[in-house]
Amino acid sequence: MYCIKKITNDLTWVGANDRRLAMFEGVYSVPDGVSYNSYLLSDEKTVLFDTVDKAVQHLFLDNLTEALDGRPLDYLVVQHMEPDHSAAVTELAIRYPQMKIVCNAKTLALLNQFFDFGADSRAYIVKEGDTLNTGSHTLHFIMAPMVHWPEVMVTYDSTDKILFSADAFGSFGALNGAMFADEVDFAKDYLDEARRYYTNIVGKYGTQVQALLKKASAVPINMICPLHGFVWRKNIQDFVAKYALWSRYEPEEYGVMIAYASVYGNTGIAAEILSSQLRDKGIKTVMFDVSVTPASEIVSAAFKWSHLVFASTTYNAGIFVTMEALINDLVSHNIQNRTVALVENGSWAGTSGGLIREKLEKCKNIKILDDTLRIKSSLKASQLPEVTAMADALIATMPGKPLDSPSVPQEHLVDTKTMFKLSYGLFVLTAKEGDKDNGCIINTVSQVTDSPLRVSITVSKANYTHDMIVKTGEFNVSILTEGVPFSLFEQFGFQSGANTNKFSEDGDGVRSANGIRYVLEHTNGVISGRVVASHDCGTHTLFVADVVQVFSVSNEPSVTYRYYFDHIKPKPALPQGEKASGFVCTICGYVFEGDVLPDDYICPLCKHGAADFVKM
């Protein structure tokens, strides 16, 4: 029996999943299994891209037979010779005598090393830039040496704009019925395994991955078909962006990964205290006991987080065995661009800290804090200030450190009103959830990149529109003009969409292609965004979005925040003869009556905080 999947009209997945494999490559646990992807292109010629591992060869052959539907196999493109993708080559050579093997010279040498079926007579040798026309498709061959072996090449189908990417963009984890990454919650359920796959399999070869990304960026790509894991047809740039970060050895998040090796728990408790103190100061932390967690998970985490702490007992006059294996693994995977702190425990002759330092100093751009926390058998209360000092030293090197951290010099925040000098515009942000339309006023829309075209918006969590965007991932931005009346700010800014319909009935027909309303009057342009990333900023969420539609409405100048203050916002009016008392919101004019404005006060109209109020 067979189990195949249509990828496009003439492309079919004929791969197979393995959920019995315990250790991929004999090293990496795969608790969720692994897929071996193989794709059949049915054009005037039939072309198969790679085969599978021997463990699933039987199912693969049934799949291929079904997908060929009685046709012969004309070409087998061998992009990667590693046996998890080439195990069935000999069997195909027996079954399809006319089959040509499309490969490069290095691949042919490896074919002859691994197999004895006589690959030379079937070889159709290609090199960088060569093409193969198969009828309506043209295949372009692109060399990608060391992603992951030296012979690796990828193939670009310029007809359907599909990149067959070999090991690149792969992931651990079997395919459980879904073929495309957009059919699952990839970021939540699969990204960690994709990172573990990348870092452990090709993490060492960042330069070579960068070279491949550069080549791939020169062509339009509608779909990526890797040899493991999901096919990508939506939000491709998100995954490419992860590869760009990983291959440059740049962290994904600011935070501290703490890995500890502890025989009797004393080194472990020091790590716990450090983690606890960091958390108290608002820093994200993750912790691993290196004797329990497989190294591949810790290597993956080390690629994710900006700061690394290694806490190890001394053992056999050296580094504890599991910690030493981890450090060696990180060094051989080329870990770079991190800040590191060390904790050493030694009851009579501590050496682990110094030895870890020696190993990590060989890596590029690793900053190791000068002060190692040294423990003799167990941490003493008198050493707690040293733990605090280490936490503060780590935080001090984080550009994203929280503003309320004790290490932030509050005296530098002299005049926060200076922020008003930033040249903000004003916008109506709209969203739609089911039948519900809603909108609010924001002043935080910026273009992020132009290729892909992306914008960022920052939205208060107090706004109902915020929650709608979190749920739907889509929004419109209407760019307001200088002619906008104050009443529009009242309409969209001074009431909650949770219990009001902010749109007048006559605005019914004004919707963009995403079905979301936009404001037509007093607007000079509209941007439709689809969220690709978000960042929790405490009171607000920063959304980054692909621009999926953008059009001009008029040539009226855009209103700026300054223009709004000077020409649109009515000055707060007090009853004649009455002495001013209280605080006025400089954003919308709301008056808070009272002598003391609470620090955490939020304007009930425009949702701005106490910092935007001035004493009357």
Q: Which is nearer to ligand FEO, 227 or 519 (CB)?
A: 227
| Minimum separation from the CB atom of position 170 to ligand FEO (A) | 7
Q: Which is nearer to ligand FEO, 104 or 456 (CB)?
A: 104
Which of 124, 53, 122, 117 lies closest to 82 in space, CA to CA?
A: 53
User: Is residue 196 close enough to count as binding ligand FEO by CB under 6 A?
Assistant: no
Scanning 81-89, 264-272, 407-415, 605-613 for contacts with ligand FEO by CB under 6 A, the matching segment is 81-89
| Minimum separation from the CB atom of position 166 to ligand FEO (A) | 8
**Residues constituting the chain:** 616
Cα separation, 424 vs 421, whole angstroms: 8
User: Is residue 333 close enough to count as binding ligand FEO by CB under 6 A?
Assistant: no
Which of 412, 434, 421, 460 lies closest to 606 in space, CA to CA?
A: 460
User: Is residue 290 close enough to count as binding ligand FEO by CB under 6 A?
Assistant: no
User: Is residue 281 close enough to count as binding ligand FEO by CB under 6 A?
Assistant: no
**CB-based contact 182:235 (threshold 8 Å):** yes
Q: Which is nearer to ligand FEO, 228 or 338 (CB)?
A: 228
Q: Which is nearer to ligand FEO, 37 or 491 (CB)?
A: 37
Binding-residue pattern over the window 119 to 158 for ligand FEO, x denoting contact by CB under 6 A: -----------------------------x----------
Q: Which is nearer to ligand FEO, 197 or 320 (CB)?
A: 197
**CB-based contact 353:372 (threshold 8 Å):** yes
Which of 47, 409, 28 lies closest to 198 in space, CA to CA?
A: 28
| Contact residue for ligand FEO among 80, 233, 432, 530 (CB under 6 A) | 80
Scanning 63-71, 76-84, 213-221, 468-476 for contacts with ligand FEO by CB under 6 A, the matching segment is 76-84
Which residues, listed in sequence order, are joined to residue 400 by a DSSP beta bridge?
Answer: none
| Minimum separation from the CB atom of position 14 to ligand FEO (A) | 16
User: Is residue 110 close enough to count as binding ligand FEO by CB under 6 A?
Assistant: no
User: Is residue 82 close enough to count as binding ligand FEO by CB under 6 A?
Assistant: yes
| Minimum separation from the CB atom of position 85 to ligand FEO (A) | 6
How many positions of this chain bind ligand FEO (CB under 6 A)?
8
User: Is residue 43 close enough to count as binding ligand FEO by CB under 6 A?
Assistant: no
| Minimum separation from the CB atom of position 64 to ligand FEO (A) | 19
Spatial neighbors of 220 by CB under 8 A, at least 6 apart, are: 161
Look-up: residue for tokens 């790679």? 50
| Minimum separation from the CB atom of position 13 to ligand FEO (A) | 16
Cα separation, 358 vs 360, whole angstroms: 6
**CB-based contact 435:429 (threshold 8 Å):** no
Scanning 80-88, 266-274, 410-418, 569-577 for contacts with ligand FEO by CB under 6 A, the matching segment is 80-88
User: Is residue 52 close enough to count as binding ligand FEO by CB under 6 A?
Assistant: no
| Minimum separation from the CB atom of position 115 to ligand FEO (A) | 17
Tokens of 445: 């829309």
Cα separation, 504 vs 615, whole angstroms: 36
| Minimum separation from the CB atom of position 173 to ligand FEO (A) | 13
Integer-rounded Cα Rg, in Å, for the chain is: 30
Scanning 79-87, 90-98, 116-124, 401-409 for contacts with ligand FEO by CB under 6 A, the matching segment is 79-87
**Rounded to 5 degrees, what angle do the CA atoms 589, 595, 598 make?**
75
| Minimum separation from the CB atom of position 226 to ligand FEO (A) | 9
| Minimum separation from the CB atom of position 52 to ligand FEO (A) | 10
What DSSP string runs through 407-425? Answer: TS-GGG---GGGGGGS--B
Look-up: residue for tokens 């910026």? 446
Helix or strand holding residue 545 (H, E): strand 540-552
Cα separation, 111 vs 51, whole angstroms: 13
Edge-to-edge order in the sheet of strand 123-125: 5-8, 11-13, 39-42, 46-49, 75-77, 100-103, 123-125
Cα separation, 418 vs 615, whole angstroms: 17
Q: Which is nearer to ligand FEO, 53 or 386 (CB)?
A: 53
Look-up: residue for tokens 């059009």? 551
- Comparing every residue's Cβ against ligand FEO, the nearest one is 82
User: Is residue 167 close enough to count as binding ligand FEO by CB under 6 A?
Assistant: yes
| Minimum separation from the CB atom of position 80 to ligand FEO (A) | 6
Binding-residue pattern over the window 215 to 234 for ligand FEO, x denoting contact by CB under 6 A: ------------xx------
Beta strands in 230-388 (DSSP E): 253-261, 285-289, 305-315, 318-319, 338-345, 366-368, 373-375
Q: Which is nearer to ligand FEO, 53 or 612 (CB)?
A: 53
User: Is residue 540 close enough to count as binding ligand FEO by CB under 6 A?
Assistant: no
Q: Which is nearer to ligand FEO, 232 or 601 (CB)?
A: 232
HEC string for 78-118: CCCCCHHHHCCHHHHHHHCCCCEEEECHHHHHHHHHHCCCC
Q: Which is nearer to ligand FEO, 230 or 310 (CB)?
A: 230
Phi and psi torsions of 360, nearest 5°: -75, -25
Cα separation, 358 vs 384, whole angstroms: 26
| Contact residue for ligand FEO among 5, 85, 137, 242 (CB under 6 A) | 85
What DSSP string runs through 267-310? Answer: HHHHHHHHHHHHHHTT--EEEEETTTS-HHHHHHHHHHEEEEEE
Type of residue found at 601? Y
| Minimum separation from the CB atom of position 169 to ligand FEO (A) | 12
Q: Which is nearer to ligand FEO, 80 or 137 (CB)?
A: 80
Query: Beta strand 523-536 with 100-103: parallel, antiparallel or unpaired?
Result: unpaired
| Minimum separation from the CB atom of position 49 to ligand FEO (A) | 13
| Minimum separation from the CB atom of position 151 to ligand FEO (A) | 10
| Minimum separation from the CB atom of position 53 to ligand FEO (A) | 8
Q: Which is nearer to ligand FEO, 84 or 546 (CB)?
A: 84
Which of 43, 15, 44, 39 lies closest to 224 in space, CA to CA?
A: 39
User: Is residue 193 close enough to count as binding ligand FEO by CB under 6 A?
Assistant: no
User: Is residue 50 close enough to count as binding ligand FEO by CB under 6 A?
Assistant: no
Report the interface residues with ligand FEO, using CB under 6 A.
80, 82, 84-85, 148, 167, 227-228
